Amino acid sequence: MKIAIIGATGNVGRRLVDEALRRHHHVVGISRDVAAPREGVIFKQADAANPDALGAAVAGSDAVISALRFVTSDPDTLLDAVRRSSVKRYLVVGGAGSLETATGKLLVESEHFPAAARDEATGGKRFLDALRAVNDLDWTMLCPSAQFIAGERTGTFRVGGDTLLTSAEGKSWISFEDFAIAMLDEVEAPKHVRARFTVGY
């Protein structure tokens, strides 16, 4: 498959590129700044705020994955770009803040949610709301667990729906590397079209 990854040079984006290459996909890496050359990746420079340029950059792909921070991106602009590209499969790296906790509240609404992460989490919820109004694209949002960190590629994790996954000890976490596995699994064998899901240990 030909997979376009917007934000390909970020923490999550780099792992998505790694996983896509591991599976022998053709990768188009989209970034705002010039990226260092990498074997197997065609890098294209495009600003996520410019739907014409971004749409042209991802055109011809089988799927587009967006791995951008929510505080620096606009859902309507990104959706406009994907529509202009004529690509129908659109996947988004979400955030844990929009997931429900055991009490039924959103994680971002919980008392102990870090204030420094609130704007990003609120942006993620806004992006999810925008996706849920879309019926002309086959979108998916994959949300990580509460702790989303660099780690190992184990291939062992749980898949959930709208509720935050936690261990028996109350810990909620997933590595960038295992998250990338879950995202590429969804690209190759869609099970959550026009839906949000989550992964965690």
Report pLDDT digits (tens) over 128-175: 999 999 999 999 999 999 999 999 999 999 999 999 999 989 899 999
Question: H or E stretch including 124?
Answer: helix 118-132
Strands (E) located in 46-163: 63-66, 89-93, 138-143, 147-149, 158-160
Has residue 34 got a pLDDT over 80? Answer: no
Which of 67, 113, 96, 118 is CA-nearest to residue 163?
96
* Tens digit of each residue's pLDDT (9 = 90 or more) over 100-126: 998 889 999 988 899 999 999 999 999
What pLDDT score was predicted for residue 66? 98
What pLDDT score was predicted for residue 8? 96
What pLDDT score was predicted for residue 33? 84
Using CB atoms within 10 Å of the CB of residue 103, give its burial: 0 to 12 exposed, 13 to 18 middle, 19+ buried. Answer: exposed
At 174, list the tokens: 């997933």
Q: Is the model's pTM score more than 0.85?
A: yes
CA–CA distance, 172 with 96 (Å, rounded to integer): 10
What pLDDT score was predicted for residue 32? 87
What pLDDT score was predicted for residue 111? 85
